[in-house]
Structure 1
Amino acid sequence: MKKLGILGGISSASTAEYYKKILNLYYGKFQNYYYPEIVIESLNFQYFTDLENQNRLDEYLNYIKKGIVNLKNAGADIVIMAANSPHSVYGLLEKELEIPILNIVDSVAKQAQALKMRKLLLTGIRYTMNHSFYKDRMKKYGIEMISPDEKHQNIINHIIFDELVINKINQQSQRKFIEIVDYYKKEYGIQGVVLGCTELPLLAEGLEAPVPFLDSLELHCLDTLAYILLPE
């Protein structure tokens, strides 16, 4: 079984969820405690977010690379980044680093294809909703991505940074989120919603929505477990 490296801390809530979910998926499959070995490199969340928001691309890339190299040096055979936004530099990381990195967008795209979805709403932090990395990669799968308008982006971004990253679940925020989803179903005909921030499943859990949610964290974890179980 391969040793997994998780680039985490971005945020702590999602990192903990990745860790628990991967082990729970393993136990659900095998009913034993021969869990995969996992090493976590926890980044400085505020520094990481500052680099994103200030568009300091070189420093951003180097900070992520340093974290992944640390994971490799700790014995990881494969790496996942426990957030959506760092996948904006996935192509550069893939070229420059000699360790497999599982892409979260591919995990979402495969599930959307399986459900025959062709138009999806992208939700996440403002950086992810405004960046092209999701749209560009999804195009290869024949899937169109719709980003929320500025007003709706502000609402979603606020919910994530002021509530979800500190594990705060607000019912009023849940209602607002469903209202946004309903608007884009009626106005744009979306067939599903990408929870393109690994904190958003905390908000969406148990909610009844007009279209299905695609939980990027869970789908990424499923692909990760499948990969680390591949024969050596």
Structure 2
Amino acid sequence: MKTIGLLGGMSWESTIPYYRLINEGIKQRLGGLHSAQVLLHSVDFHEIEECQRLGEWDKTGDILAEAALGLQRAGAEGIVLCTNTMHKVADAIESRCSLPFLHIADATGRAITGAGMTRVALLGTRYTMEQDFYRGRLTEQFSINCLIPEADERAKINQIIF
């Protein structure tokens, strides 16, 4: 079994389902008391959110790339980023860490196309809904048309998330 490196803490609440679902998948596949070999680096979300708010995306990329390198040194064999929004800096992580990186938009795109859909509603933080790092990848790599809410609805959704 390979060791998965989880980059989490953005928020810690959103990291929990990744750990749970990975372990449920292992239990379903292997049975008994088997569980996943997981390394978790949980960052301080306060620092990440502050960088987001200030537009300091390069700094968040540095923080997460360093965390990924730490997971690599600890023995991880692949990286999963446990948040949608921070995939905005996925390139910074992938360019500095040589481990395979599971991009959430790729997994999402495969699930959407596998279900026979080509048009979906995209909900998330305002960064995820308004910027191109997620929506653009779905469009360019999977020919998926993403619908986003109106500005006032996006603001409300973002407020609910944060």
Answer yes or no: same fold by TM over 0.5: yes
Do structure 1's residue 157 and structure 2's residue 158 form an aligned pair?
A: yes
Q: Tell me how far apart the structure 1 counterparts of residues 125 and 137 of structure 2 sit (CA, whole Å).
A: 18
8 Å Cα contact 1:40-1:71 kept in structure 2: yes
8 Å Cα contact 1:87-1:133 kept in structure 2: yes
**SS of alignment partner, residue 121 of structure 2:** strand
Q: Which amino acid aligns with 1:130?
A: E
Post-superposition Cα deviations, 1:77-130, rounded to whole Å, max 9, x if no partner, equal 111000011111223322232111101001110011011111111101111111
**SS of alignment partner, residue 117 of structure 1:** coil
Q: Equivalent residue for 1:14? A: 14
**SS of alignment partner, residue 64 of structure 2:** helix
8 Å Cα contact 2:121-2:148 kept in structure 1: yes
Max Rg structure: 1
TM-score, structure 2 normalization: 0.94
Deviation beyond 3 Å, 4+ runs, structure 1: none
8 Å Cα contact 1:53-1:127 kept in structure 2: no
Q: Tell me how far apart the structure 2 counterparts of residues 45 and 10 of structure 1 sit (CA, whole Å).
A: 5
Q: Equivalent residue for 2:143? A: 142
Q: Equivalent residue for 2:70? A: 70
Do structure 1's residue 100 and structure 2's residue 100 form an aligned pair?
A: yes
Q: Which amino acid aligns with 1:147?
A: I
Q: Which amino acid aligns with 1:18?
A: Y
**SS of alignment partner, residue 101 of structure 2:** coil
Number of aligned positions between the proteins = 161
Structure 2 gaps, min length 5: none
**SS of alignment partner, residue 86 of structure 1:** helix
Q: Equivalent residue for 1:217? A: none
Q: Equivalent residue for 2:91? A: 91
**SS of alignment partner, residue 123 of structure 1:** coil
**SS of alignment partner, residue 49 of structure 2:** helix
TM-score, structure 1 normalization: 0.66
Question: Percent same amino acid at aligned positions?
Answer: 27
Q: Tell me how far apart the structure 2 counterparts of residues 141 and 58 of structure 1 sit (CA, whole Å).
A: 27
Q: Tell me how far apart the structure 2 counterparts of residues 45 and 109 of structure 1 sit (CA, whole Å).
A: 27
